[in-house]
Structure 1
Amino acid sequence: MMMTTTVDIRTLMGIRVGVHNPTFLIGSSHPPCFRKRNNLPLIIASASYQTVGVQHKDDLNNNNNHQLKLKKKRVFLLDVNPICYNGSTPSLHSFAHWISLFFSQVSLSDPVIAVIDGEGAHEYRRQMLPSYKAHRRKFTPWVSASHELVKGSVNMRSHQLISDTLTKCNVPVVKIPAQEADDVVATLVEQVLQKGYRVVIASPDKDFKQLICEEVQLVMPLPELKRWSFYTLDHYIAQYKCDPISDLSLRCILGDEADGVPGIQHLVPGFGMKTAQKLLKKHGSLQNLLNAAAVRTVGKPYIQDVLTKHATHLQRNYEVLSLRRDVDVRLQDDWLLRRCTDNDAETISNFVDLLRETYSSHR
């Protein structure tokens, strides 16, 4: 499910305005002075000692931490596969649209690392759950608007054409055999953070919400608005009323229809979002909840029945939905360099022209 909430531009730019005088800290001709007495809050005042705002010490510390975080450079991890679809239909035009907006409005010259599913990427999870992503149409041939295989002067697999386009835009493309892009991204997130950068995952895939924290956020394509939108830790907490650390446990209970992972609702319709959130808020994680249910009553009879009789079902969901961080991929130092954008416009224009010419010749 895609979210429509957007980040306030002032927050993205790192501007924190005063409570009573929003222009003071930015435009005052006199530097603010600070007075501290015992445990009283710090008073932000002008040179004439006119109080214009009050901030507690903890607030200032949080503000300083926030500013330090924003000073860290961003690295974008681009999940390529989802933006190559228009709904459930493979579409190279969709890729061209989203990558053009991404480069021109989102990542700019920040480093971008693109990740694509390897061949046989879904087999690992399908061995545990045959329905996992079973309904998704493969995106191996170049599919035209009439869904006919394109043959002729440009006889190239779609993924190769996409990879070539990204490479020309100075974006490294990572594709690991038998590994899903989600797991490769999760592995690279930890490596990028260890290098001292912030991470932005570019993807509509809600699987990545389990990775959200202060230094990891998402930017999601919104087809209905035809633009990308940032999704942060604050957005997650406002939406789900819990910390992202509980996201995986929550989705194990509710399931993931898009990925073919059945939740508990089809067994017990009354076991929904609010019930799951209440239980996880008390117990912290799915495993803690299942351990407690095995030795004592944790809720109403139908809740207890589900947690004891269908514990294996929930544990399997956990294995399927949990992102792996152990993929054999190593972050390269040159992937973290500022991206040269000189080729973007021409490369994407040539890509669109190629699509137009090829489609026209095969009508």
Structure 2
Amino acid sequence: MANKKLLLIDGNSVAFRAFYALYRQLDRFQNPEGLHTNAIYAFKNMLDVILKQENPSHVLVAFDAGKVTFRTKLYSDYKGGRQKTPGELLEQIPYIKEMLKDLGIKSYELVNYEADDIIGTYSKMGEEAGYQVAIVSGDKDLTQLASDSTTVYVTKSGVSELEAFTPEHMKEVNGVTPTEFIDMKALMGDNSDNYPGVTKVGPKTASNLIQKYGSVENIYKHIDEMKKSKLKENLINDKDKAFLAKTLATIDRTSPVEFKLDELKKQETNVVDLRKFYEQMNFRRFLAELNNSNSEIGEVSDKKVDYIVLDEQNLNKLPNVKSEVSFYLGMFGENYHLADFVGFSLKMGDNVYVSNDVSLLTKQPLQTLLEDQAVNKNVFDLKRTIVGLHRLGIKANNINYDMLLASYLVNNENNSNDLGEICQLYNYYDLQPDVDIYGKGKKAAIPDEEIFFNHLAGKVLAIEALKPTLLKRLTEHEQDDLYETIEMPVANVLAKMEITGLKTDASTLVQLGNDFGQRLTELEADIYLEAGERFNINSPKQLGQILFEKLELPPIKKTKTGYSTSVEVLEQLKDQSPIVQKVLDYRQIAKIQSTYVKGLLDVIQPDGRVHTRYQQTLTATGRLSSVDPNLQNIPVRLEEGKKIRKAFIPSNKDGYIFSCDYSQVELRVLAHVSGDENMQEAFKTGYDIHAHTAMKIFHLDSPDEVTPNMRRHAKAVNFGIVYGISDYGLSKNLGISRKQAKEFIDNYFEQYPKIKDYMDKEINFAREKGYVETIMHRRRYLPDIHAKNFNVRSFAERTAINSPIQGGAADIIKIAMINMQKKLDELNLKSKMLIQVHDELIFDVPADELETIKKVVPEVMQNAVHLDVPLVADSNWGHDWYEAK
């Protein structure tokens, strides 16, 4: 048994010391969810030191079970003078226990006993069984347990520096043996544990008395022999206190502990759970150490896998799979409409097949397999795969699992599009991120063939390996329906829309470019005239000198390089000089010219269309984002921006562009989720919601009394509430006093009380759960909801209010898109869905189908979901997108 060593740690005491060791860095030690982590971090540092030093075979960390113990029954004020444990420390204790479990270390607490008693009992058991014992505490009370077999380490500065107490060291420090130290404590009392000893007996006097008499009992046995003195008088008067103190100070070494010594054996570290824990705590240093010390599991590496390289000769040897395959199509570049193909991998049965020749996919039996309706396909990115295969002339069918979408729904805060990066989020470290293989250039830096094929094979294995984990998480989050009936089907719809593209008239763009060029020339001349000189309008420094020095406009904001000429600043100055509005117009038209005229001309493909790419996994709310080019952000406030839409035309000369958009869908979602009867009444009776709100906040009796300005203010309040606006924000938006803005908001909540209840409920839900969700269970995680910084926390609270509303609206338009595509297919129409612009759907409609579409589209959109208020969709059409608005 000599080689066995038992390590016992006083959990509460060390955690307390750990907390204060890094107390000055409390704000720095927080994880993304706002949990303080300083005590956890310092505790782990101490643990590393003592584990390395002692190399124990058995370990236990003991914790106090509560404030009530057998000692409090003997003396009710025991530990009564202690300050309340900081909440920032209390919140960390459960996580310290979780970390210990992941490290393979048992923690334990025992009702009615202190951690000291657990440690005293196990140290005695260890000594009797022939173990060497090491004890770690921040409290010297445990030094009474030191013996020839037991060393007690007490933390000094911080928690990593330890003072070793052996019987010899106890004699040096206190002049008494470890057992006699109990008697010393009996005479001195303990301010920390709040029990008295003998009046005016300190450490030196107590030590001298015990060195002479050996124990408290022996002191009182010889008390009559002492010379008359104040000390003798105090000893006699406080005899009961001395014996009570000795009882309180004595560690119970026969506590009814649950586990046998063998059950304290240190277990293997659970690397997967520990890595997850370190990631949750944001402990980068410990993560790096874990990866370096666990090469098989912890390091990111392309684990060697078995694969078969496909070529034309062995294609006919592929097995005949009838049920399920996993497939990865490799392309280098974000824009998969144009990206270079680099290869593919395919898992069929037990075999993995790879190739860098994508033309093999167009040959038999691969094309038949990919198009087979009966064979399920697992892929990384459904939309990317469908579009990529379409470029090769293959119509992919029955893709029933999308790893990217599943990962996105499980946690949309970590929405990487890189398969390797996503694998790491779920502790699958057999695959490197693409950037580690291909580099960061515009062209793929293909590594040697063996590494490349191994990486391709690893991807298809990862897709299959993580499928059960991700599907299980979706089920746990009640997101199966969201994944299966919304995100997967809408990905198919989006792929179809992207492939269709939008016919674009280049000549219209060229003409608009000429017109805008002329307008910019005119604006330049006007600006120079107002300034009294020529200068570089695009130079913030030169523009600032003209506005704030020469024209003496009041400077609102300064930057490190001079005056700020941001849009926000210029908007506040536009009424003070005509030059300001002209500069704003110049900037907007110049941006439209470069971004939308030249930008669109550059991306028209040989088929005469632009093929935008929808980012389905980008936003935390579920809203779609359009890129390459962005067709959702064409500016419409300025007439020049609106004119860009003239370039988007139907496929047929006599056809139509048809637009249908939801009316105030976010406010309708708010009315539904809040259950507010007043707002619901407005929507049910068809009132103008902004006029209705104006009546409420301005206390009017009739809609006839609502002025346009009142309606404008009410509209700002309505939409501001959706985004959790403050009185300050509203006052800034409307140019009114903060007091008046607060009045508007108070009146609003008075008239719509359940909206305030909804807001409070969502914030409280977020604080409790760490996330909020839409009616379809789309989650938005809010790691800053407990942040100490007011501004950071306030933003998280506003997000908690808004996300279920904005996310709910995103869910509704997606359902409408799915149902609309089904209807187009069902009616066998030639009309095609082209674009989604948040609450609006755009269609390419042949002339002979216009009447059908005018009826079908609003009907489908209005019946996408059933809320407590009606959904309303408004339609327009014309011979280009401009006319359709």
* TM range, smaller chain: 0.5 to 0.7
Pick the aligned partner of 1:130 from 76, 80, 84: 76
Per-residue CA deviations over 1:38-72 (Å, capped at 9, x if unaligned) read xxxxxxxxxxxxxxxxxxxxxxxxxxxxxxx9x54
Could you say which residue in structure 2 is the equivalent of 1:143?
88
CA contact (8 A) 2:10 2:137 kept: yes
Correspondences of 1:200-349 after superposition (within 5 Å): 200-224=134-158, 226-264=160-198, 267-268=199-200, 271-293=201-223, 296-341=224-269, 343=271, 346=275, 349=278
Cα distance, 1:319 vs structure 2? 1.5
CA distance in structure 1 between the partners assigned to 2:174 and 2:153 by the alignment: 18
The SS at the match of 2:37 is helix
Could you say which residue in structure 1 is the equivalent of 2:281?
352
CA distance in structure 1 between the partners assigned to 2:108 and 2:79 by the alignment: 21
Q: Report the TM-score when normalising by structure 1.
A: 0.66
Per-residue CA deviations over 1:236-290 (Å, capped at 9, x if unaligned) read 11111221121000011111111112233xx33xx43333222212211011111
Query: 1:89–1:98: structure 2 CA closer, same or farther, 3 Å change rule?
Result: closer
CA contact (8 A) 1:131 1:260 kept: yes
After superposing the two structures, state which structure 1 stretch, 221-230 or 198-207, moved more: 221-230
After superposing the two structures, state which structure 1 stretch, 98-107 or 235-244, moved more: 98-107
CA distance in structure 1 between the partners assigned to 2:263 and 2:14 by the alignment: 21
Cα distance, 1:311 vs structure 2? 0.6
Query: 1:183–1:333: structure 2 CA closer, same or farther, 3 Å change rule?
Result: closer
Cα distance, 1:100 vs structure 2? 1.9
Amino acid paired to 2:12: N
CA contact (8 A) 2:182 2:249 kept: yes
- Residue 76 (str. 1) matches residue 7 (str. 2): yes
The SS at the match of 2:195 is coil
Amino acid paired to 2:66: E
- Residue 118 (str. 1) matches residue 48 (str. 2): no
CA contact (8 A) 2:106 2:264 kept: no
Root mean square deviation, CA, Å: 3.2
Cα distance, 1:348 vs structure 2? 6.2
Amino acid paired to 1:116: F
Amino acid paired to 1:297: E
CA distance in structure 2 between the partners assigned to 1:326 and 1:199 by the alignment: 17
Amino acid paired to 1:186: G
CA distance in structure 2 between the partners assigned to 1:359 and 1:80 by the alignment: 29
CA distance in structure 1 between the partners assigned to 2:179 and 2:215 by the alignment: 8
Per-residue CA deviations over 1:322-358 (Å, capped at 9, x if unaligned) read 1112211144244343543574973663353289x95
Amino acid paired to 2:119: V
Correspondences of 1:41-80 after superposition (within 5 Å): 72-80=3-11
Cα distance, 1:200 vs structure 2? 0.9
Correspondences of 1:67-106 after superposition (within 5 Å): 72-85=3-16, 86-87=19-20, 93-106=37-50
Cα distance, 1:209 vs structure 2? 1.4
Query: 1:279–1:135: structure 2 CA closer, same or farther, 3 Å change rule?
Result: closer
Amino acid paired to 2:131: Y
Correspondences of 1:19-38 after superposition (within 5 Å): none
CA distance in structure 1 between the partners assigned to 2:276 and 2:220 by the alignment: 53
CA distance in structure 1 between the partners assigned to 2:158 and 2:785 by the alignment: 27
CA distance in structure 1 between the partners assigned to 2:10 and 2:254 by the alignment: 18
Cα distance, 1:187 vs structure 2? 1.1
CA contact (8 A) 1:101 1:227 kept: no
CA distance in structure 1 between the partners assigned to 2:80 and 2:92 by the alignment: 20
CA distance in structure 1 between the partners assigned to 2:113 and 2:220 by the alignment: 30
CA contact (8 A) 1:116 1:175 kept: yes
Amino acid paired to 2:281: V
CA contact (8 A) 2:151 2:166 kept: yes
CA contact (8 A) 1:217 1:231 kept: yes
Runs (5+) with no aligned partner, structure 2: 27-35, 285-781, 789-885
Query: 1:225–1:113: structure 2 CA closer, same or farther, 3 Å change rule?
Result: closer
Amino acid paired to 2:14: I
Query: 1:234–1:94: structure 2 CA closer, same or farther, 3 Å change rule?
Result: farther
Cα distance, 1:208 vs structure 2? 0.6
CA distance in structure 1 between the partners assigned to 2:69 and 2:187 by the alignment: 23
Query: 1:333–1:291: structure 2 CA closer, same or farther, 3 Å change rule?
Result: closer
Cα distance, 1:164 vs structure 2? 1.7
- Quote the sequence identity (%): 20
Amino acid paired to 2:122: L
Query: 1:288–1:137: structure 2 CA closer, same or farther, 3 Å change rule?
Result: same
After superposing the two structures, state which structure 1 stretch, 105-114 or 251-260, moved more: 105-114
CA distance in structure 1 between the partners assigned to 2:21 and 2:221 by the alignment: 39
Correspondences of 1:180-219 after superposition (within 5 Å): 180-219=114-153
Give the aligned length.
274
CA distance in structure 2 between the partners assigned to 1:228 and 1:211 by the alignment: 16
Query: 1:198–1:143: structure 2 CA closer, same or farther, 3 Å change rule?
Result: same
CA distance in structure 2 between the partners assigned to 1:232 and 1:106 by the alignment: 16
Q: Report the TM-score when normalising by structure 2.
A: 0.29
Decide which structure has the larger Cα Rg and report it: 2
CA contact (8 A) 1:83 1:94 kept: no
Per-residue CA deviations over 1:145-201 (Å, capped at 9, x if unaligned) read xxxx9xxxxxxx644332222111101111112221111111111111122101111
CA distance in structure 2 between the partners assigned to 1:160 and 1:128 by the alignment: 29
CA distance in structure 2 between the partners assigned to 1:284 and 1:213 by the alignment: 17
The SS at the match of 1:115 is strand
Amino acid paired to 2:282: D
Amino acid paired to 1:350: E
CA contact (8 A) 1:75 1:112 kept: yes
CA contact (8 A) 1:297 1:304 kept: no
Runs (5+) with no aligned partner, structure 1: 1-68, 150-156
CA distance in structure 2 between the partners assigned to 1:101 and 1:358 by the alignment: 25
Could you say which residue in structure 2 is the equivalent of 1:50?
none
Query: 1:273–1:326: structure 2 CA closer, same or farther, 3 Å change rule?
Result: same
Higher relative contact order (CA 8 A, sep 6+): 1
CA contact (8 A) 1:79 1:182 kept: yes
CA distance in structure 2 between the partners assigned to 1:119 and 1:273 by the alignment: 30
CA distance in structure 2 between the partners assigned to 1:239 and 1:325 by the alignment: 24
CA distance in structure 2 between the partners assigned to 1:334 and 1:351 by the alignment: 32
CA contact (8 A) 1:113 1:335 kept: no
CA distance in structure 1 between the partners assigned to 2:240 and 2:164 by the alignment: 36
CA distance in structure 2 between the partners assigned to 1:351 and 1:142 by the alignment: 20
The SS at the match of 2:282 is helix
